Structure 1
Amino acid sequence: MKKLSIYLFLLGMLGAHLGFAQQSTTLRGKVLDETGVPIAGASLSLQGTQTATATDESGNFTIQYTSPAVLVVTALGFVGEDVNLSNQTTLTIRLLANEETLEEVVVVGYGTQRRGEVTSAISSVKAEDFTKGTVRDAAQLIQGKVAGMRITTPSGDPTGSTQINLRGLNSINGSQNPLVLIDGVPGDIATVAPEDIESVDVLKDGSAAAIYGTRATGGVLLITTRKNRSSESKTSIEYNGYANVQTIQRRPDMMDASDFRRLISEGYEYTDYGGNTNWLDQVLQTPVSHNHNLTFFGGNSRTNFTGSLNYRNWEGIMLTTGQERLNVRAALNHDMFDGKLRTNIQVINQTSKSNQGGTGGYIWRQAMIRNPTDNIYNEDGGWQERNDYAYDNPLGLIHESINDRIFRESRFSGSVDYRPIGDLSLKMLISRVINNDLTGNSTTFDHVNTTKNNLNGTASRSTGANTEDLLELTANYNKSFGDHRFTLLGGYSYQYNVGESFEVYNFDFPTDEYTYNRLESGTALQRGLATMESEKDMWKLAGFFGRVNYSWKDRYMLTASIRREGSSAFGANYQWGTFPGVSAAWNVANEEFMQPVAFVSEFKLRGGFGVTGTIANNPYQSQTSYNFNTSQGAYINGKWVPGFVPARNFNPDLRWEKKEEWNVGLDFGFMKNRVTGSLDYYVRNVKDLLYNFPVPTPPYLFGNMMLNAGEMQNSGFEVLVNVRAVETKTVKWNTNVTFSTNKNKLVNLSNEQFNVTREFFDAGHTGEPIQISTHRVAVGGPIGQYFVYKSVGLDENGGWLVESREGEVISMEDATPEDRQYYGNGIPKFNVGWNNTVNIQNFDVSVNFRGAFGHQVLNMQSLYYDNPVNRSYNVLKTAFDPIDGKELRNSLVYVSHYIEDADYLKIDNVTLGYTFKPNSIKGISNLRIYFSGLNLHTFTGYRGIDPEAVSYSGDFTFAPGMDHRDKYPSTRTYTLGLNVTF
């Protein structure tokens, strides 16, 4: 009996223990999307049981479970997730949008937003819509796909980059470039490999960009790198590789040796050196390049990583030009404490080695002008040189010089995102970007520097280093109740940048074997003729910002933001400024009275206003500067002491340029979004332009001064239309069209303190021997106008006749500078893009067109090489063609004859691909091969090489449309590629 009692007691204790172990736990939580917006109607169930529930309108849920358990979470349009439960009582779950609905989320300043709630002019381009095949950088991925954004490739140089201009020119001395952020960290369009990019979002108008303050007048490009979006515990590897060949896009038709001998027989004073050389053939090659990209994905929904390795080896179409580049990126994400704490660490490292083959533009000029009867080598086996002005053997320039560059950049960033409650996110982002730029240049004893100029070998070395630190603290609060949805953002940003550089040059070496590695051995150093320069600068930027988003029933939406920002680059009286932005939208399609109109899926009216700024390129423009000047000084104690002279005036009132922009737009969708798109009209006024103003001395120390004076205006219209034209089981055709216009005007060049005496400034330059400016920007007029003598034909002696300021026809010899007039404009009035993607079962075809219309280009190739003035130089075969029945003779001048209409339409990219059935090869889940052609054909009446290959930035910002003679020719590229996923 006693034993039975003991057994019953132990059995009871065991039962009590089992009952305690199996007691249920109440789990309360929230399901959110990537943006932090609650997901209503998400399904939650316990794996292997009948227990299930769903989230309410605020994304909240409650469920009972017995630990351990697996919670299965699914929602329409999102990737499902399995969550392991072990006695948790609270949980926040974030679901990723699936591939079919990724376009519903766009990246905005300091976060993301559902497309349906966007109230500003924002364009988003996803990876599936990128330009295929060989692309130079992130900008070329979206070329022709963003209305209002003009992306050009002015050079075929493999070390070059694309140029970006958004909604016209907006500054005289400030940067025209957009702010580029890679996963929230400032960078540039070449920071990451194009294959490593998931999406590019463009903040186009002021209301969207205002939250970035003084860096955002040129627009904002938000680049999102690829991430591991799988919730499964598996590892995958992707390989993307291609090889390509390039050819010159359009070859200039120069005279050959037989043409020269024919001209000599006709009495023209050309020299026959007895040879037969095609100099363009000698400096050009057919380059073969290749690119390889490996991407690794691994981990699960809590801890995952992404790694990528990109190797590029590009050869240039000109001899000894090319670039070898290695990009490495690694990102690690980890969730802790039931998803309340999310961490990210990312490292991006880039190393590139470039060979710039001498000075490529000058070499191209020499290959163009070289006498085709001249020989490559002289009788002694050396390079054949002549003593004519600026006439050098291009092969000697190439092979007797070294121009190396090594660029290294390391980017370290980390973030911590803490959610104390489901609706609140607290985030800290820190980063450090370090780059080093090292160049080396030298010429041998057989280079013209020595054979003509007696320098006996030259060498130089330069280095630059830059370190930029960033700290950002943000708080984001999302709240939904009933039909109302709020998002509140507040934050602080601090950026600190230090840059320094050093350069030294020497010549007259005992041997040329050292190249640039023993600069001290050049005797020019001992003679005081070597040069040495160094500098260092620093700037700081701090900002406080906030934003509120409100949406009611997805019908009425409001966004308001403000940024208070300070910069060390400005004067002591104006280091802080305020940049507000506000925009609103009304989606008429969601109104009850529109429900019977099933044809309309979206009809969202938008309007916004925002203020952004532009920072001075030099961080010390507001401060006084002095230089030592050897030509100004005095004898002190029998020695000449250089003068300490002012080089810049003190301006404590220097401040940022202020862009005020209005934007109205319409987002539309018809036939269940088979047809979607947007229309936008904008007006932007840039006030307080940074202008180098002439000032009197005295009272000022220096004759000009950087100050805020003047106003500029841009306005334009933009259209984007996407159409899913064909959508069947076997055939799909998606097409989109972009169209944009832009008008600009310089409103004034004065301020309250100074009035200009000349209400214009000149820009651009023809170069020697003409030596004259090419453009004039005048108050009240548009930017980009050529200022030129208007030609009306030739006189009987073959000289130009031009139109005088009174409208009379006069000889060019009698013309004065006052007879120059405005003629044409280098900025296109209209830009278009037409992009098509067709899928036929396993085949895919993409065809992209781009065009620009309503502008002119100064054909400097024609100006110098369609003009047989210098008989030492080769010319185009058209040089002796009659003009109005007369032959041009001895008249090398800048006249309107050389300004040509430059409308063009390009077949920009054509790609044909084939994707094999999944797992058709064991171990390979995806396999695709493709062939692509880039810059295939240009329909144009322009006679030069490429009407698009002109520069619109830097020194040519206000002299657009100049097709320079010293250039690296643009190319056509054919690519064969392979995509594999293991």
Structure 2
Amino acid sequence: MKKSYLKKLSFLFVLTLISISVFAQNGSISGKVVDESNLPLPGAAVFVEGTQTSTQTDINGNYLLTGVSYGNVSVTVKFIGYDNFTKTVKLSTDQSTLDFKLLPSSKSLNEVVVIGYGSVKKSDLTGAVTNVTSKDFQQGQITTPEQLITGKVAGVRITSNSGAPGSGSTIRIRGGSSLNASNDPLIVIDGIPVDGGGIAGSANALALINPNDIESFTILKDASATAIYGSRGANGVIIITTKKGQTGKPQIVFGTQYSFGSIAKKADNFSAQDFKDFVKNSTSIYATPALKAKIGAASTDWQNEIFQNASTNDNNLSISGSLKNLPYRLSLGYLNQDGILKTDKLSRTSLSLNLSPKFFDNSLKVTLSTQGSMTNSNFADQSAIGTAVRFDPTQTILSGNSNYGGYFQFLSGSPINATTGVTGLNSLAPRNPAALLDQRTNNGKSLRSLGSLQLDYTLPFLKDLRANLNLGYDVAKGTGTNVTSPDAATSFLRFPDAGGVYRSGVNNQYEQHKTNTVFDFYLNYVKDLKSIKSNLNVTAGTSYLSYETKNTNFADYSFSGVKNPTSTPNFPFDLQQNRLSSYYGRAIFTVNDKYIFTGTVRADASSRFAPENRWGYFPSGAFAWRISNESFMKNVKAISDLKIRLGYGVTGQQDGIGNYTYYNGYSLGNHTAQYEVGGQYYQVYRPNAYNPNLKWEQTATSNLGLDFGIINNRITGSVDLYIKKTTDLINEITQSAGTNFTNRFIANVGSMENRGVEFSVNALAVDKKDFKLNLAFNTTFNKNEITKLTNVQDPNYIGVQIGGISGGTGNTIQIHSTGYPRASYYVYQQVYDANGKPVQDVYVDRNGDNKITNADLYRYKNPDAKVLLGFSSSFNYKKVFGGFVLRGSIGNYIYNNVASSTGTRTAIFNSTTGILNNGSRDLLNTNFEGTGTTFYLSDYYVQNASFLRMDNLNAGYNFGRVIKGKANLSLNASVQNVFVVTKYKGIDPEIEGGIDNNFYPRPRTFSLGLNLNF
């Protein structure tokens, strides 16, 4: 009996061991994750429920889970913007296949931030909103975040201000809404409004953010979408969401990219030989024998001397996953970028951390997001660009002696000091371009930290009510030193010290601190009213923002550290502060999933206005009708989505003006303007211009939109018509001399209007198993007009002249005038000869008084495009992927100041300075002598700058799993600024402000990249 029992027990024990052995065996699960259009979703989180086994999809949406125990396995896929999807499979062999198709989420993170302060289903949006996710970003060498969406969004124009490393961009949404206040959109990063004013030591505030940390952009364009931001939404809102952690085991992503850039096009001036021939053969009265004798024997291409081939290294490492119930993401980035202008350089080290735990049965959601960065820059002297175009190409780079650092300089001919024998400089002549770069070092360092802590709590006694608290900060410190060699011509014998000895060189420093804090609290009530098939979403909250800037004042020093006696600061620092306190509310009522009503109101109080004008009130209302959900549309199979939107709202403006414009204050005069009292010199306090009646500038926007989807949303798009009317323009106006201690001050005078149409469409053109092709197109038409500039109609008032140019004294080329677009060119109408050549100083007598005066100036064209175009494509063919981005601009004009200031004989034969200057080859077309100054104002120099630019061309190959299946490897290559088609004669048709003078060229950049996903 015992033996039988022992045998049975032994058999059961062996069977148990066998069973354990069998079930302990591991297999793998692979598959592909695609979106509703069957396009791959790279970076989606894939994990086995109840385990730490997880991975991410590669660039083609493929994934591989290894070490999966046999048996019933539940696999979940998560991707931002899409509903989570879980499938269960019985794993009984070494490998199983499981594919996923994700559908857009009804309550995704992107949509939570789209409207601000709450969540709403995408189908319930009533405003003009565009979302761009990481899969649609621009490719290639991307240094600053805004470059990721250039050309991707209808109604949004993004223009890089220069080709310098990390340089900023000008962003305009539906045209500018102001003349003197800011036209920049509000940028919100993870709930924190970002100060776009920049920081000392950095070329661009957004350059401090690593683009690789960004998950998506949401652009709010009309007032019904932006009104919840009140006074900050007049120019649109861009909401940036950074990448967060995902549930599962750690995922490591490493990317490295090497880029090589070179100048795409140089200014068209004379070569050395052509210059010699031109000077020699010139019969101009200005080509005197004395000036002709100045021709040198060298052959120097000064543009080649200042520009270089520039390299960039960009490395990024991230790790994401979860520690039990604590999802996290940690990333580290390092960028090292040279500029194509010699000595220009940028390096950036960035670190970001995101934590998103949940507590109390998921009732409390905590999101901690923080980003830090350090940038080091050397800012090249960009005046070398314009000087290189003008400098005599027959002169040598070096002089052959040690004076002025050994660099050739134009001299006056008389010695400064009999002891040293150093010959004096020609004070009116340009300085050697190579010396401008080599003899100056301007090092800047910026530290920045941006972070937020968000607590989202669902109240236990009322599950439909949430309380949300968001605490945020944005702190930055910028420092730098500006050092110029003591033998540099630009700073030779610069000032006398206390003993009367003249000192040379520069050794100065600068420092700035910025501290911005944010407090947001709101309640959000969401209730499904099932009995009437409706939904109610109500939000109410308060916000407080504080901005503080501290600029440290330093004295002026020579290279050796001797202080300029007249530069001692009276105060160690200047402190600028402003505050914004707000209350806001919004209600969204959805009826039967067809009719959506949205109402929003916000009240803002700004410290920039006097107490009686401090509060501004900004309401909006919108309605949407989902026609596709109507019963009569059920049989229309071709149309999968159709919605009409109608909205109206008012937003305000107070950015871009001084913090104390309303206040009767005083400031110290200049150091050089001191008064003697009793043998001592003192600075005096001067009263500032002020306006106690200054109030909010307001913009009212009307929007009519249509969203559509065709053939199961293989084709989607939208059409929007809008009108933006700005009143009480914050404007700089003139007044009688002596009034208010100035002849110009800021007041609420005038109005302006923008009218436009936007159209965008996305299409999955090819949807085959091994080949996917996606096409996207957008276009925008915008018309701007100033409708009022004075409180009292004055037919003799021409407007406000702006747009200073090089050439003449105090010349301007643009004007704000009633009835015309902002910044229209204000010029003479050029007369041409029978051969189509412009005739100097011969213009159309527009007023018919038989003489040419200022009364004959007319308003002609403007810098803003009438039509913007964007076209992009992406494809996947098996393991190959690629795409391109094209942008177009029609109707924009640029004043070619390089041609006007250098394309005359008087510019080349400069009798004032007694030297020869190089000039624009445009002179061969105009034959302008350059007498007088009216030729600067000829409309000949206002040139059509319409263009078609290929921003990016990219391709890559996904090698799949490498390193014994532990990582996914992909390689990519791209070209940026591939080509430009334009009639414009300057180096680039895309120049913000419309005046081409001393522009830093955008490089053409070739990049190679490698990505490893573990």
- TM, length-normalised to structure 2: 0.81
Q: Deviations over 1:953-981 (max 9, x none)?
A: xxxxxxx31112x2212211111111211
Task: Give yes or no for contact 1:797–1:889 (8 Å, CA) kept in 2.
Answer: no
Q: Deviations over 1:883-938 (max 9, x none)?
A: 4xx66564663111111111100111111011123x34425442211100111100
Task: Give yes or no for contact 2:691–2:746 (8 Å, CA) kept in 1.
Answer: no
Shift in CA distance, 599/169, structure 1 to aligned 2, threshold 3 Å = same
Match of 2:400 in 1: 379
Match of 1:560 in 2: 599
Task: Give yes or no for contact 2:613–2:694 (8 Å, CA) kept in 1.
Answer: yes
Report the Cα offset of residue 254 of structure 1.
2.7
Match of 1:865 in 2: 902
Match of 1:689 in 2: 729
Alignment of 1:682-721 (within 5 A): 682-696=722-736, 700=740, 702-721=742-761
Task: Give yes or no for contact 1:81–1:301 (8 Å, CA) kept in 2.
Answer: no
Match of 1:496 in 2: 546
Report the Cα offset of residue 746 of structure 1.
1.2
Report the Cα offset of residue 797 of structure 1.
12
Report the Cα offset of residue 488 of structure 1.
1.3
Task: Give yes or no for contact 1:585–1:606 (8 Å, CA) kept in 2.
Answer: yes
| 1:831 lines up with 2:841 in the alignment | no
Which sits farther off after the overlay, 865-874 or 575-584? 865-874
Match of 1:577 in 2: 616
Shift in CA distance, 544/71, structure 1 to aligned 2, threshold 3 Å = farther
Report the Cα offset of residue 546 of structure 1.
1.1
Question: Aligned equivalents of 1:890 and 1:236: distance in 2?
Answer: 70
| 1:367 lines up with 2:388 in the alignment | yes
Match of 1:854 in 2: 891
Match of 1:440 in 2: 481
Shift in CA distance, 390/923, structure 1 to aligned 2, threshold 3 Å = farther
Report the Cα offset of residue 634 of structure 1.
8.0
Task: Give yes or no for contact 1:309–1:326 (8 Å, CA) kept in 2.
Answer: yes
Structure 1 counterpart of 2:822, which letter?
Answer: I
Match of 1:536 in 2: 575
Q: SS of the counterpart of 2:776?
A: strand
Alignment of 1:142-291 (within 5 A): 142-187=149-194, 188=196, 189-229=206-246, 231=247, 233-267=248-282, 269=287, 270=292, 271-291=294-314
Match of 1:119 in 2: 126
Report the Cα offset of residue 671 of structure 1.
1.0
Match of 2:1012 in 1: 980
Structure 2 counterpart of 1:457, which letter?
Answer: G
Q: 1:469 aligns with which of 494, 498, 517?
A: 517
Question: Aligned equivalents of 2:677 and 2:955: distance in 1?
Answer: 77
Alignment of 1:67-86 (within 5 A): 78-80=83-85
Structure 2 counterpart of 1:778, which letter?
Answer: S
Match of 2:35 in 1: none
Q: SS of the counterpart of 1:318?
A: coil
Match of 2:878 in 1: 841
Structure 2 counterpart of 1:304, which letter?
Answer: P
Match of 2:62 in 1: none
Report the Cα offset of residue 711 of structure 1.
1.1
Match of 1:956 in 2: none
Q: SS of the counterpart of 1:506?
A: coil
Q: Deviations over 1:536-572 (max 9, x none)?
A: 1111111111111122232111111111111111111
Task: Give yes or no for contact 1:104–1:116 (8 Å, CA) kept in 2.
Answer: no
Shift in CA distance, 71/925, structure 1 to aligned 2, threshold 3 Å = closer
Q: Deviations over 1:61-118 (max 9, x none)?
A: xxxxxxxxx9999999632579xxxxxxxxxxxxxx9865259843221234322111
Structure 2: which 5+ runs fail to align? 1-48, 52-72, 88-99, 197-205, 412-425, 495-501, 910-914
Report the Cα offset of residue 533 of structure 1.
7.4
Shift in CA distance, 531/933, structure 1 to aligned 2, threshold 3 Å = farther
Structure 1 counterpart of 2:386, which letter?
Answer: R
Shift in CA distance, 978/910, structure 1 to aligned 2, threshold 3 Å = same
Which sits farther off after the overlay, 684-693 or 732-741? 684-693
Q: SS of the counterpart of 2:490?
A: helix
Q: Deviations over 1:302-326 (max 9, x none)?
A: 3111111111111000110010011
Which sits farther off after the overlay, 244-253 or 216-225? 244-253
Match of 1:37 in 2: none
Question: Aligned equivalents of 2:243 and 2:838: distance in 1?
Answer: 66
Question: Aligned equivalents of 1:437 and 1:847: distance in 2?
Answer: 37
Structure 1 counterpart of 2:608, which letter?
Answer: A
Structure 2 counterpart of 1:946, which letter?
Answer: D
Report the Cα offset of residue 727 of structure 1.
0.6
Q: SS of the counterpart of 2:273?
A: helix
Shift in CA distance, 699/368, structure 1 to aligned 2, threshold 3 Å = closer
Alignment of 1:451-850 (within 5 A): 451=492, 455-482=503-530, 483-508=533-558, 511=560, 521-525=561-565, 534-616=573-655, 617-629=657-669, 643-651=684-692, 653-696=693-736, 700=740, 702-751=742-791, 758=797, 760-793=799-832, 799-806=840-847, 815-850=852-887
Structure 1 counterpart of 2:696, which letter?
Answer: W
Report the Cα offset of residue 265 of structure 1.
3.8
Match of 2:452 in 1: 413
Report the Cα offset of residue 706 of structure 1.
2.2
Q: SS of the counterpart of 1:780?
A: coil
Task: Give yes or no for contact 2:410–2:429 (8 Å, CA) kept in 1.
Answer: no
Report the Cα offset of residue 845 of structure 1.
1.5
Structure 2 counterpart of 1:688, which letter?
Answer: D
| 1:320 lines up with 2:360 in the alignment | no
| 1:971 lines up with 2:1003 in the alignment | yes
Q: Deviations over 1:338-377 (max 9, x none)?
A: 11111122221111010012x21x1011111121110111
Q: Deviations over 1:566-601 (max 9, x none)?
A: 111111111112111111100111100110111111
Question: Aligned equivalents of 2:796 and 2:549: distance in 1?
Answer: 38
Shift in CA distance, 915/639, structure 1 to aligned 2, threshold 3 Å = closer
Q: SS of the counterpart of 2:688?
A: strand
Report the Cα offset of residue 819 of structure 1.
2.1
Task: Give yes or no for contact 1:851–1:905 (8 Å, CA) kept in 2.
Answer: yes
Report the Cα offset of residue 196 of structure 1.
0.9
Match of 2:969 in 1: 927
| 1:130 lines up with 2:128 in the alignment | no
| 1:400 lines up with 2:439 in the alignment | yes
Shift in CA distance, 973/641, structure 1 to aligned 2, threshold 3 Å = closer
Q: SS of the counterpart of 2:356?
A: strand
Q: Deviations over 1:618-659 (max 9, x none)?
A: 1111101223448999876676765543222350x3221111
Question: Aligned equivalents of 1:47 and 1:503: distance in 2?
Answer: 60
Question: Aligned equivalents of 2:107 and 2:453: distance in 1?
Answer: 27
* Identity, % of aligned positions: 28
Structure 2 counterpart of 1:185, which letter?
Answer: I
Q: SS of the counterpart of 1:446?
A: coil
Question: Aligned equivalents of 2:76 and 2:480: distance in 1?
Answer: 55
Shift in CA distance, 921/639, structure 1 to aligned 2, threshold 3 Å = closer
Question: Aligned equivalents of 1:74 and 1:629: distance in 2?
Answer: 65
Shift in CA distance, 530/492, structure 1 to aligned 2, threshold 3 Å = closer
Q: Deviations over 1:267-301 (max 9, x none)?
A: 56443222121211111110111101111102068
Question: Aligned equivalents of 1:599 and 1:969: distance in 2?
Answer: 48
Task: Give yes or no for contact 2:107–2:122 (8 Å, CA) kept in 1.
Answer: yes
Shift in CA distance, 267/212, structure 1 to aligned 2, threshold 3 Å = closer
Question: Aligned equivalents of 1:797 and 1:852: distance in 2?
Answer: 27
Shift in CA distance, 437/103, structure 1 to aligned 2, threshold 3 Å = farther
Aligned residues: 871
Task: Give yes or no for contact 1:459–1:505 (8 Å, CA) kept in 2.
Answer: no
Please report the RMSD computed on the Cα atoms of aligned residues, expressed in angstroms.
3.0
Match of 1:32 in 2: none
